[in-house]
Amino acid sequence: MGNITNKIEKIIFLFELVRDIPYGNIGKRKILEVLEQKRGSCSGKHLLLGKLYELLGLKVKYMMGKTNLKNFNKLIPEKLCLKEDVFDYHNYIKVYINNKWLVVDATFDSALKCLGFPVNDKWFADRDCQLAFETIDNNEVVDLSDAKIKALSGLTKAQRIKRYNFFQNFISWLERIRY
């Protein structure tokens, strides 16, 4: 980590490193998949960041909250906008830093800030991050991947299909505008 000397600098460095892995690759929730494909969703990126923080000796809680993807209509082209509610589950972490639990969300990479996405670009490990998605019913989960799979299986088949189609179109759009 070069000249990084203190723990807070390491926490910030690792956050920025994971945050700037491009958002994408929905459904791939394994750390190695994120690293190999250089893409990650909220689940994969937070599994990676959480494990890195645990290696630093930090306490980490893996979190999940229900979100309505329709809330994203204000950030995406009209052709991608949802006409009805489509639900998903957003993952992020809480990290115990300086005697307090802080919300940490590295979902969206810095390149998306110019498009109006909620990117946590100036986080100094001193306050909660803004969540990438508005969420309700936030809970700590033991196994993030397993909890996400179980939560998604609770959606109707029609909701799962709409969610899948939304993310396929959304990620394709992001890939087109990135390069």
Q: Does the pLDDT of residue 2 top 60, yes or no? A: no
N-terminal to C-terminal alpha carbon distance within the chain: 29
pLDDT at residue 29, rounded to an integer? 77
132/119 Cα distance (integer angstroms): 7
pLDDT computed for residue 164 by the predictor: 94
pLDDT tens digits, 65-118 = 999 999 989 999 999 999 999 999 999 999 999 999 999 999 999 999 999 999
Locate the domains of the chain by residue range.
7-178
Answer whether residue 44 shows pLDDT above 50. Answer: yes
Q: Would the pLDDT of 133 be above 70? A: yes
Q: How far apart are CA 147 and CA 152, in angstroms?
A: 9
- Most distant CA atoms of the chain, gap in Å: 51
Q: How far is CA 93 from CA 37, 61, 64, 115, 173, in A?
A: 22, 6, 8, 24, 27
Asked whether the predicted pLDDT for residue 145 surpasses 90, the reply is no
pLDDT at 5: 65
> In this structure, what is the dihedral angle of CA atoms 28, 33, 30, 108, given to the nearest 10 degrees?
-60
Q: What is the pTM of this model?
A: 0.93
Mean pLDDT of 125-139: 96
- pLDDT-based confidence at 30, cuts 50/70/90? confident
**Are 98 and 51 a contacting pair, CB within 8 Å?**
no
Helix crossing, 144-153 with 42-55: angle to 10°? Answer: 160
Alpha-carbon dihedral sign for residues 14, 15, 18, 21: negative
> What is the DSSP code (8-state) at residue 139?
E
Mean pLDDT value across the chain: 93
pLDDT value, residue 1? 47
Contacts of 175 (CB under 8 A, 6+ apart): 24
Which residue type, as a one-letter code, is found at position 179?
Y
Domain covering 7-178, topology? C8orf32 fold (3.10.620)
Over range 158-176, report the average pLDDT.
Answer: 93
Percent of the chain predicted with pLDDT > 90: 85
Checking if the pLDDT of 28 tops 80, the result is no
With 70 as the cut, is the pLDDT of residue 3 above it?
Answer: no
Structure letter (DSSP) for residue 129: P
Given a cut of 50, is residue 126 above it in pLDDT? yes
Nearest CA to 72 among 176, 157, 173? 173
Gap between the Cα atoms of 135 and 115, Å rounded? 21
